[in-house]
Amino acid sequence: MDSQLGFIEQSFNSRYPFWVRQVLDELPDSFIITDPCTSGHPIVFASRGFFKMTGFSRDEVIGKNGRVFQGPKTSRRSVMEIREAIREERTIQTSILNYRRDGSPFWMLFHLCPVFSKEDGSVIYFVGVQVPIVRKQRHLRSGFGRIGVSLCEDSSGFGESLLGSCRREVCLDSVVELGRVLAMDLVLGSDDRELEVDEHCEASDLEKRKAATAINNIFSVLSHYSELTGTLVCGKRCGLSGMGLLGSSLNISLGRIKQSFVLTTPHLPDMPIVYVSDAFLKLTGYARHEVLGRNCRFLRGADTDFKTIFQVIKESIQTELACTVRILNYRKDKSSFWNLLHISPVRSASGKIAYYVGVQMDENCKNQDKQGLSPQTRQRSVVGAVKVAVRSLLIGPGTSMS
C-alpha cells in the first residue's frame, strides 16, 4: 500500500519537494490537489483541514478519485457540472452534498480550479477547495408554537445534526418547555434530517469569498515554489497552446486504458510524446515528467538497430499507415528488452491525423494475457480504445470540444 501511495504522490513530488507539502499543510483550508494526467484522476495531495473536515486518513484519500466522497443523496447534476468543468479545463463553484468517513452527509461549496503549466499551457493539476455551508435559520412548528433552529456547520467543518450537538438558538421560558421541544425533535427529527439532505443548499457570498481566498493562497504557494524548482505554474492558460495539447478529459479517458502506450503529435517538431500510460512507466522505469515532451528515440541504446527500424517507422508515418516492428529498447536502469512496437495513426472526428499511438509490449511477456488474446489482438484493442477516446473528444487535431 505504501509503495502504491508513493507512486501516486510522485506526480506531485516530481514538481514540488516535501517541504512544499509542509507549507501547504500550514494553510488552514480544506482542499485537495488532483492529477488529471494520471490514470483515474487521483488525489495526489490533501490538506490537514480536509482530513479534519471529512474524518478520512491520508491512506484512505491519496490515490482515490473524488467520487469516493459522494453518496446516495449527492446530486447527479452537481457531479455533471464538475465533470464538465474538468473537461473544459475551467474554474467552477458549486454546492454539493458529500459524505464523511462515518457516512454523515454535509453540504459544502466546492471551488475547483485548474493549474496550468507556464511552459506549454497544459493542465497539470486541479485544486479543489471545500468550504462547509452554514445552513440558514429555518423554523419548525410544533404544538408548543414556532421555534427557531439554527442548522449549521461548526468551525472544524463537521456538520451538526438536528438530534446531535447542533447549536440551538432558542428562547424558552422554562426547563420544562425545553424538555417538551427536545421530545418533539425526537419524534420529527428523522424526517427533518432527510428534508435537510434533500433540499438544495446555496452558499452565501461570504462562503464564496472564503473559497476564492483559499484558492488564491494555494496558488500563491504553488506559484512561488514553482519558480524555485523551475516548473512554473499559473492559474490561467499561458505559453504554448497549439496542436498536440491534450485536454484533461482526454487524459482521463486515456488513463482507463491499462496497456503500455504513448501518444505523440505530428504537429510539433520531432513528434514529442504528449501522453504516456502508467503501464509504459512501469515497463520502462521512467517517471512521467521524464517522458513527456521527448521523442521515443530515448528508449534506444548501444545495440539498437535504429537505422533500419527508423526507416520502417518513417515510411509508416509518411504513408499514414500502421506498422509493427521488433526493436531492442532500454529501460531507465539500462536493462534491455525486446519491444514489439505497434504504431498507428489516430484521426480526429474530421478525419485528419491528430496523433500517433505507439503500443509497446515486452516480448518476454507477450503470452501473459489471462484471456488468451494474442499480442496483435491486444495491441489493436489499445489502438481502438485510443481512437474512440480521441474521436469522441476532439473536433480537430489537438482541440478539446467545448
Q: What is the 3-state secondary structure (H, E, C) of 142-187?
A: ECCEEEEECCCECCCCCECCCCCCCCCCCCCCCHHHHHHHHHHHHH
The predicted-structure confidence for 329-379, as pLDDT tens digits, reads as follows: 999 999 999 999 999 999 877 788 889 999 999 988 866 666 778 888 889
Which amino acid is located at 88 in the chain?
A: E
The predicted-structure confidence for 154-186, as pLDDT tens digits, reads as follows: 444 433 333 333 333 344 444 444 444 444 444
The predicted-structure confidence for 178-230, as pLDDT tens digits, reads as follows: 444 444 444 444 444 454 566 778 889 999 999 999 999 998 888 877 766 66
Average pLDDT rounded to a whole number, residues 240-259: 70
Read off the C-alpha cell for 393.
473528444
CATH 3.30.450.20 positions along the chain are: 2-133+202-234, 248-393
Read off the C-alpha cell for 327.
526493436
Give the whole-number percent of the chain exceeding pLDDT 90: 35
Whether the CB-CB separation of 25 and 47 falls below 8 Å is answered with: yes
pLDDT at 37 over 50: yes
Q: What is the DSSP string of 372-385?
A: ---HHHHHHHHHHH
Task: Work out the mean pLDDT of the chain and round it to a whole number.
Answer: 77
pLDDT at 86: 86
Which amino acid is located at 309 in the chain?
A: I
Where does 248-393 sit in CATH, by number? 3.30.450.20
Which comes out higher in pLDDT, residue 46 or 89? Answer: 46
In degrees and rounded to multiples of 5, residue 77 shows phi and psi of: -65, -45
Local structure of 258: helix, strand or coil: coil
Q: What gap in Å lies between CA 73 and CA 40, rounded to an integer?
A: 23
Average pLDDT rounded to a whole number, residues 58-82: 90
pLDDT at 40: 83
* pTM > 0.85: no
Average pLDDT rounded to a whole number, residues 69-83: 90
Whether the CB-CB separation of 112 and 82 falls below 8 Å is answered with: yes
Domain range 2-133+202-234, CATH class: alpha beta
Average pLDDT rounded to a whole number, residues 111-121: 82
- CA 5, chain centre distance (Å): 15
Q: Which of 231-245, 298-312, 349-363, 382-396 has the lowest average pLDDT?
A: 231-245
pLDDT at 188: 41
Is the Cα torsion angle 372, 376, 377, 381 positive or negative in sign?
positive
Average pLDDT rounded to a whole number, residues 68-83: 90
Local structure of 322: helix, strand or coil: coil
| Cβ burial, residue 66 (10 Å; 0-12/13-18/19+) | buried
Report in angstroms the alpha-carbon separations of 400 from 7, 157, 354.
29, 37, 12
- CA 60, chain centre distance (Å): 16
